Amino acid sequence: MYFDRPALKAEARRAMRSTHPRPMLVALLYLLLTTGLSALISIIITDPITLFVQLTDQGLTPGNALLVALSDIGPTGLFLHLLVALFGMVLSFGYSRWALSASRGEKASFSDLVSGFSMVGKVLWLSILLFLCELLLSIFFAMAAHLAMLPFLLIPVLNYVAAIVFPITAALIPNLLMLWYAMSAYCLLDDPELSAFQAMRRSRQLMRGHIGDLLLLYLSFIGWFLLAVVLAIVTLLCVSAPIGYALATPDASTSTFFYGMIPAAISFLGLLFLGFWLTPYLTIVKCKFYDHLPRTQSDVPPFDL
Counted domains in the chain: 1
Name which residue leads in pLDDT, 163 or 103: 103
CB 10 within 8 A of CB 17: no
Encode pLDDT of 169-207 as tens digits: 888 999 999 999 999 999 999 999 999 999 999 999 999
Most confident segment among 22-26, 69-73, 158-162: 22-26
Q: What is the pLDDT of residue 284?
A: 96
d(CA 44, CA 266): 28
Residue 60 DSSP label: -
Encode pLDDT of 110-144 as tens digits: 999 999 999 999 999 999 999 999 989 988 988 88
Quick check: is 70 in a domain? yes
User: Roughly what angle, to the nearest 10 degrees, separates helices 5-18 and 254-292?
Assistant: 110
Average pLDDT estimate for 90-102: 96
Q: What is the largest CA-CA distance in the chain?
A: 76
CB 245 within 8 A of CB 252: yes
Quick check: is 3 in a domain? no
CB 119 within 8 A of CB 140: no
Q: What is the pLDDT of residue 30?
A: 95
Quick check: is 278 in a domain? yes
Count of Cβ atoms closer than 10 Å to residue 103 Cβ? 27
- Preceding amide of 263 cis, omega within 30: no
Quick check: is 6 in a domain? no
Structural domain of 112: 15-299
d(CA 177, CA 256): 52
Closest CA to 282 of 203, 209, 224, 197: 224
Quick check: is 115 in a domain? yes
| Chain centre to alpha carbon of residue 129 | 16
Quick check: is 45 in a domain? yes
Average per-residue pLDDT for the chain: 85
Encode pLDDT of 15-33 as tens digits: 999 999 999 999 999 999 9
Is the model's pLDDT at 163 over the cut of 90?
A: no
Type of residue at 229: V
Quick check: is 248 in a domain? yes
Q: What is the DSSP string of 208-253?
A: TTTHHHHHHHHHTTHHHHHHHHHHHHHHHHHHHHHHHHHHH-TT--
d(CA 62, CA 55): 8
Quick check: is 1 in a domain? no
Q: What percent of the chain clears pLDDT 70, i.e. is strictly above it?
A: 90
